[in-house]
Amino acid sequence: AQTVTQSQPEMSVQEAETVTLSCTYDTSESNYYLFWYKQPPSRQMILVIRQEAYKQQNATENRFSVNFQKAAKSFSLKISDSQLGDTAMYFCAFMKPSATSGTYKYIFGTGTRLKVLA
């Protein structure tokens, strides 16, 4: 079975500090994609960052960057210079093609609730 594990249910960080959220996944596939989504209290699911498994370079979007370790099946999210608006639930997601249909499908982790403290 394909699984995504986020081992930190809750985390907190001081404003302006750096925090890292962990995510591990289990797959035998070589072609897949990884994502981090943010869900603030508004409930909207917002894309933070996307990583293609075939790319060795870690993706970066402004204050958000990932540490993608393919051999270890690890995909952590680093948030630099944390802001109050970063307070949210963060979901790691893994996408791979279905063995039967070939359609790519997401598998989500259970989320990490991050609170940024003033």
Interface residues with other proteins (CB under 8 A) are: 4, 33, 35, 37, 42-47, 50, 91, 93, 95, 97, 101, 103-106, 108-111
Structure-derived torsion over alpha carbons of residues 21, 22, 28, 34, reported in degrees to the nearest 10 = 0
Q: How far is the CB of 65 from other proteins (least distance, A)?
A: 18
The nearer residue to other proteins, 15 or 92, going by C-beta atoms, is 92
Pick the closer one to other proteins by CB: 99 or 118.
99
With b meaning 16 or more CB within 10 Å and e meaning fewer, what string describes 70-80? eeebebbbebe
